[in-house]
């Protein structure tokens, strides 16, 4: 079974530029998550989708970050404009259909973003 | 504010010893708990999940949960140099959301 796919793996941009990340979850997984992981910290949830609907985006900086999952499968996360503090690894994870709290999440390889 | 606390380490153990990693959580509503291993420059990899009080064993790994004390631990028996990584503890609450700790760095020395 193929894992979570993400691209690009690395991205370097200058502040105020825009960037987009793509994620394709494990086949059949209904729930998709985007996390931000800053060096030395645990992953922080940015947004959670159930199929193509947003479940939780309470920690997404909506003035600069946006995300969509139009057909309930793959997803894109965009930052516009980027700030220096956005330098981090952006992780996508997916989990099977909703089973309450007992839903294991599986991570993709991540995209390492450097903002100069 | 839901929190998951871990000692950042590094925790150093000799090869062949038992490594004990600990985690506490603040939200009593949390029902599921996960341990992820993260090698430097890589993404988190799920190694254990536990939902009920007590112990759960999988190979060299044993997860322990004590909901009364809001405490989760991971024991790694016969530690190997390949176990050297950061171990992330995560607590799951309503809506399938996970709250992660900052991770404990484990170093297994030859």
The 10s digit of each residue's pLDDT in B26-35 is: 988 888 999 9
**Which among B30, B34, B102 has CB closest to A104?**
B34
- Check if the beta carbon of residue A73 is closer than 8 Å to that of residue A24: yes
Confidence of residue A2 (pLDDT cuts 50, 70, 90): confident
In this prediction, residue B104 carries a pLDDT of: 97
Per-residue pLDDT at A91: 98
Which residue is closest to B87 within chain A, CA to CA? A42
Task: Identify the bridge partners of residue B105 per DSSP, sorted by sequence position.
Answer: B86
**Distance from B104 to chain A by nearest Cα, in Å?**
10
What percent of chain A is modeled with pLDDT above 70? 94
Where are any strands of DSSP class E within chain B?
4-5, 11-14, 19-25, 32-38, 45-50, 54-58, 61-66, 71-76, 85-92, 98-100, 104-109
A104 touches chain B (CB under 8 A): yes
Q: How does residue B10 score in pLDDT terms, banded at 50, 70 and 90? A: very high
Per-residue pLDDT, averaged over B66-95, amounts to 94
Under a CB-based contact definition with an 8 Å cutoff, are residues B49 and B34 in contact?
yes
pLDDT surpassing 60 at residue A101: no
Q: What are phi and psi of B60, to 5 degrees?
A: -85, -5
Report how far residue A31's alpha carbon sits from residue A72's, in angstroms, rounded to the nearest whole number.
9
* Record: contact A104-B49, CB cut-off 8 A: yes
Q: Do A48 and B95 touch (CB under 8 A)?
A: yes
Q: Which residues of A touch B103 (CB under 8 A)?
A: 42
Rg (CA), chain B: 13
Per-residue pLDDT, averaged over A2-11, amounts to 96
Distance separating alpha carbons of residues A68 and A80, to the nearest angstrom:
14
Query: Using CA atoms, how far apart are residues B25 and B101, in angstroms rounded to an integer?
Result: 9
pLDDT for A70: 82
- The CA–CA distances, whole Å, from A93 to A4, A80, A88, B30, B100 equal 7, 22, 16, 20, 14
- A101 three-state secondary structure: strand
Average pLDDT, stretch B78-105?
93
User: Residue A32: is its pLDDT beyond 60?
Assistant: yes
**Contact indicator for A108, B43 with CB cutoff of 8 Å:** yes
When pLDDT is cut at 50, 70 and 90, the band that residue A103 belongs to is confident
Contacts of A61 (CB under 8 A, 6+ apart): none
Nearest to A42 by CA among B91, B45, B100: B100
Residue B23 has pLDDT above 90, yes or no: yes
Contact status of A48 with chain B (Cβ, < 8 Å): yes
Helix (H, G, I), strand (E, B) or coil at A71: coil
Q: What is the pLDDT of residues A39-79, one digit of tens each?
A: 999 999 999 999 889 999 999 999 999 999 988 899 999 99
pLDDT of B90 strictly over 60:
yes
Q: Where are the beta strands (DSSP E) in A1-116?
A: 5-7, 10-13, 19-24, 31-37, 44-50, 53-56, 65-68, 75-79, 88-95, 106-107, 111-115
Q: What is the mean pLDDT of residues B34-58?
A: 96
């Amino acid at each position: 079974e193929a894992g979570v796919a993400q691209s690009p793996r690395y991205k370097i941009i200058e502040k105020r530029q825009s960037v987009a990340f793509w994620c394709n979850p494990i086949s059949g997984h209904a729930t998709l998550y985007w996390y931000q992981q800053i060096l030395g910290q645990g992953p922080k949830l940015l947004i959670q989708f159930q199929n193509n609907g947003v479940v939780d985006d309470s920690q997404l900086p909506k003035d600069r970050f946006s995300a969509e999952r139009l057909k309930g499968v793959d997803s894109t996360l965009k930052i516009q404009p980027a700030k220096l503090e956005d330098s981090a690894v952006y992780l996508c994870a997916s989990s099977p259909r909703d089973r309450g709290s007992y839903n294991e999440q599986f991570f993709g390889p991540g995209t390492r973003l450097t903002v100069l | 504010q839901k929190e998951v606390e871990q000692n950042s380490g590094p925790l150093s153990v000799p090869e062949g010893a038992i490594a004990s990693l600990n985690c506490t959580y603040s939200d009593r509503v949390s029902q599921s708990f996960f341990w992820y291993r993260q090698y430097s420059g890589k993404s988190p990899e799920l190694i254990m999940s536990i939902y009920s009080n007590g112990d759960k064993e999988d190979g060299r790994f044993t997860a322990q949960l004590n909901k009364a004390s809001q405490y989760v631990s991971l024991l790694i028996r016969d530690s190997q140099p390949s176990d050297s990584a950061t171990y992330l503890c995560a607590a799951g609450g309503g809506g399938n959301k996970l709250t992660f700790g900052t991770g404990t760095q484990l170093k297994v020395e030859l």
